[in-house]
Amino acid sequence: MKVEEIVKALDLKIFSGEKGLSNEITNGYSSDLLSDVMGSAEAGCVWITLQTHKNVLAIASLKELAAIILVKGYKPEDDMAAQSNEENIPVLGTDKQAFEISAELFNLIKK
Amino acid sequence: MHFEYNIISGDFSNAGSASSQIKKVLKQLNVETVTIKRIVVALYEAEVNVVAHSFGGTIFVDINTEEILLRLKDTGPGIPDIKLAMQEGFSTASPQVREMGFGAGMGLANIKKNADKLEIKSEVGVGTEVTIMVKLNE
């Protein structure tokens, strides 16, 4: 499944990193602790978080994650969005909270 | 091959840039993906520790056909109790750093898990030297 498909299916906003919309998704990871994601997320994961700063992109790039979904209406800080465009890792958004969007993404991926 | 990177205290916007550059070098050297992943996790955590906790420092990277050696040397303040610092969940990070999602006390554990050798030498008032070795042909 590609990032653009979950954007449509889950009605996500696209903040930045449009060039990465064709990235392939393998799984998801929900966490707001950076070291947790660094230690445990797999390549190709969609990262669900409320962290909105540039370090999120540094980790997403190092771990080769597919995309980031910001929850509860959070928006990326300017340097996070800029880094997302540079790395081609989309930053997406939803008004839903992490539990709900994680469940929806889980059902979508596991189908 | 030898590389050096300066780390500025509190400069979170550049945290991870040394890890990113080393990752590129290792890819060019055709190091196995699994091994690159381990090195990247260990180096990133060590790099962030210097940004978050030290007065600044330098990363020295040496790569040969057998192994990669990462040495992170900072100018203080030093770790009073290394055993305590190694405990998962223990952190001295500031509330601001924790709010960013750092400082969960998982960094050193992540390094230990991914390194073939981890050595920490520290003297309060002088500085800390963290040495990480990862074998390249496993």
Q: What is the ipTM of this complex?
A: 0.92
* Angular region, B7: left φ>0, alpha ψ -120 to 50, beta rest: beta
Report CB contact under 8 Å: A62, B13. no
What is the tens place of the pLDDT at every residue in A75-95? 999 999 999 999 999 999 999
Report CB contact under 8 Å: A53, B102. no
For chain B, the average pLDDT equals 96
Above 90 in pLDDT, residue B50? yes
Could you write out the DSSP letters of every residue in B25-82?
A: HHHHTT--HHHHHHHHHHHHHHHHHHHHHSS-EEEEEEE-SSEEEEEEEE-S---S-H
More confident residue, B137 or B14: B14
pLDDT band at A61, cuts 50/70/90?
very high
CATH of A3-110, one of 3.20.20.140, 3.20.20.120, 3.40.1390.20, 1.10.150.530: 3.40.1390.20
pLDDT band at B128, cuts 50/70/90?
very high
Q: Using CB atoms, pick whichever of A32, A55, A79 lies closest to residue B15.
A: A55
Report CB contact under 8 Å: A36, B23. no
Give me the residue spans of the domains in chain B.
2-135
CATH fold of B2-135, please?
Heat Shock Protein 90 (3.30.565)
Total CB pairs under 8 A between chain A and B: 62
Segment B104-116 shows an average pLDDT of 96
Above 90 in pLDDT, residue B12? yes
% of residues, chain B, pLDDT over 90: 99
pLDDT number for residue B79: 97
Above 90 in pLDDT, residue B137? no
Q: How far is A51 from chain B (nearest CA, A)?
A: 7
Q: Comparing C-alpha atoms, which of A25, A30, A42 is closest to residue A70?
A: A30
Above 90 in pLDDT, residue A27? yes
Q: How far is A75 from chain B (nearest CA, A)?
A: 15
- Among B7, B27, B41, B43, the residue to mutate for chain A (most A Cβ within 10 A): B41
pLDDT band at A110, cuts 50/70/90?
confident
